[in-house]
Structure 1
Amino acid sequence: MTTPKRPADIYLRFLQLAEALRGLPSLPSLDPLEERILAIVARAGQDEQRLSVRDLMGKKELGSPATLHSRLTSMREKGWIMLSDTEDTRRKQIELTQAALMHFDKLSRCLVQAAKQN
């Protein structure tokens, strides 16, 4: 393999390594909107912010409430997210599953590996 000559080469190598993860048996794949939702849930968790279904549905850039509801249902069935109760039983908190956290750990290792190859 040739040595990366530009900073973009690190990112492109990361994409290549991350794509290889998709071929491994783990969680079912996500569509692009589900990937955006997953990133929002992950960032909220990283920032120790609570993210309810209602909060997510308030993000108009993600589409209609019906679309988001179907995507959340799909993501739960695929094992990426879980909904937990809050003080108000009508509101559900969105959280990553342990399997989703492990997926982010793998992506992180891909990023570190791509940077080391520079």
Structure 2
Amino acid sequence: MDKDNRPADIYVRFLQLANALRGLPSLPSLDPLEDRILAFIARAGQARERLSVRDMMAQSELGSPAMLHARLKSMREKGWIVLSDTDDTRRKQVELSQAAWLHFDKLSKCLVQATRDASK
């Protein structure tokens, strides 16, 4: 395989393009645990699954309930997620904000661009 045209090159190019996005005015950055929580919420949203704070607390890999609440509060203040009311006023549904979906759209474009660059 040509050293300059490996599949890993696509991923590295994507990382470079995605890193350039971080320099643009956008949403505040997330810590590694918040990144994992964001990915969890995004997968649920993509699958059109309703996700409550209680559902998330059942996921031990996301940390203790107190830590999860703190991270959700931080992510909400940063603009990454929204909490919306449900039929049960004690339960809140967790969803990505419109700004977070736009961020994912930009990352997707970076991935497409990295793939195109590799095919040249």
Normalising to structure 2: TM-score of the pair?
0.94
1:54 corresponding residue in structure 2: 54
The aligned amino acid for 1:35 is D
The aligned amino acid for 2:6 is R
2:64 corresponding residue in structure 1: 64
What's the secondary structure of 1:93's corresponding residue? strand
Alpha-carbon offset, residue 24 of structure 1: 0.6
> Aligned Cα RMSD in Å?
1.0
* CA deviation string 1:29-87 (max 9, x = no partner): 00010011111111101000011000111100111000000000000000000000111
Identical columns (%): 75
1:24 corresponding residue in structure 2: 24
Q: Distance in 2 between matches of 1:46 and 1:26?
A: 22
The aligned amino acid for 1:25 is P
What's the secondary structure of 1:15's corresponding residue? helix
Q: Distance in 1 between matches of 2:61 and 2:4?
A: 36
Q: Distance in 2 between matches of 1:56 and 1:106?
A: 26
Alpha-carbon offset, residue 4 of structure 1: 4.2
2:92 corresponding residue in structure 1: 92
Q: Distance in 2 between matches of 1:107 and 1:33?
A: 19
2:40 corresponding residue in structure 1: 40
What's the secondary structure of 1:82's corresponding residue? strand
Unaligned runs of 5+ in 1: none
Q: Distance in 1 between matches of 2:54 and 2:4?
A: 44
What's the secondary structure of 1:116's corresponding residue? helix
1:102 corresponding residue in structure 2: 102
Q: Is the 8 A contact 1:27 1:99 kept in 2?
A: yes
2:9 corresponding residue in structure 1: 9
